[in-house]
Amino acid sequence: MSSDATGGPDSDTATRIKALESLLLEKGLIETSAIEELIDMFENRLGPWNGAKVVARAWTDPGFKEALLRDGTETIAEMGFEALQGEDMVVVENSAEVHNIVVCTLCSCYPWAVLGLPPVWYKSAPYRARAARDPRAVLREFGTEIGADTEVRVWDSNAELRYLVLPERPAGTEALDAAALAELVTRDSMIGVSLVAPP
């Protein structure tokens, strides 16, 4: 048995998936090339660097930001990232008034196109159980304190909508261009569990 926190490795599980994969190969249902392509895509091509580009462009291009908040799916698609069907994108903007945080309480829905696969903590029982009910305590576990005057708004990703948090641009970054700004944007800030720190 392996723990929810680490996700393996488990020799029995490793044996079972190996057996299932070889059975499916033998039956002509999958080819090795599909497995190779998927591993390469999720290990190397999809990741939070895509989301960071979206955020940095929104910070530097008001027209893009307006379009992004109005129609996340179309606007992000125009940036040309690979993505899977079923990912209607909704971009939610942090401000002095509202801090957004995303959870999938029922499973692990997450915006793969812009963030890649979710970290273990996002899929874990404690995050799924607590983020909706006590988001401020969860945020504190990530070292994030949100003032009492700011509304904390939880988005439960229970349907075929995928949320990307547009974090606040940190002070002191006026001189930076989009490429430099993208370097500052973390995965966690786009899930809403942390803020973007100044350089």
Partner 1 sequence: MNSLHDMAGMDGMGPIPIEENEPVFHADWEKQVHSVTRALMGRKHFNTDEFRHSMERIEASRYLQLSYYERWLEGITTLLLEKGVITQQEFDTRSADQGGGTKPAADREMVRNMYKIAGSVRLRLDVAPRFKAGDRIVARNISPPGHTRLPRYIRGKRGVVEHDHGVFHFPDTRVAGQGDQPQHMYTVGFVAREVWGEEAPANDSLRITLWDDYMVPA
Q: Which residues are catalytic?
A: 104, 107-109
- Whole-Å CA distances, 103 to 48, 146, 153, 154, 183: 17, 17, 11, 7, 24
Of 52 and 83, the one with the shorter C-beta distance to partner 1 is: 83
**Residue among 57, 67, 69, 88 that touches partner 1 (CB under 8 A):** 88
The minimum distance between CB 46 and partner 1, in angstroms, equals 9
Give 101's contacts (C-beta < 8 A, 6+ positions apart).
131, 135, 138, 139, 152, 153, 154, 155, 165, 191, 192, 193
- Tell whether residue 70 is a contact of partner 1 (CB under 8 A): no
**Residue among 127, 167, 186, 196 that touches partner 1 (CB under 8 A):** 127
- Tell whether residue 78 is a contact of partner 1 (CB under 8 A): no
**Residue among 61, 126, 179, 183 that touches partner 1 (CB under 8 A):** 126
- Tell whether residue 6 is a contact of partner 1 (CB under 8 A): yes
Give yes or no for a contact between 103 and 154, defined as CB atoms under 8 angstroms apart. Answer: yes
**Residue among 33, 96, 145, 171 that touches partner 1 (CB under 8 A):** 33
Which 160-189 positions form the footprint of partner 1 (CB under 8 A)?
160-161
Which 132-151 positions form the footprint of partner 1 (CB under 8 A)?
132-136, 138, 141-142, 148-151
What interhelical angle do 62-70 and 48-60 show, nearest 10? 120
The minimum distance between CB 172 and partner 1, in angstroms, equals 25
**Residue among 26, 62, 63, 96 that touches partner 1 (CB under 8 A):** 26
- Tell whether residue 105 is a contact of partner 1 (CB under 8 A): yes
Give yes or no for a contact between 156 and 132, defined as CB atoms under 8 angstroms apart. Answer: yes
| Alpha carbons 155 and 183: distance in angstroms, whole number | 26
- Tell whether residue 93 is a contact of partner 1 (CB under 8 A): no
C-beta neighbour count of 56 within 10 angstroms: 22
Instruction: Write the DSSP symbol of residue 131.
Output: T
- Tell whether residue 31 is a contact of partner 1 (CB under 8 A): yes
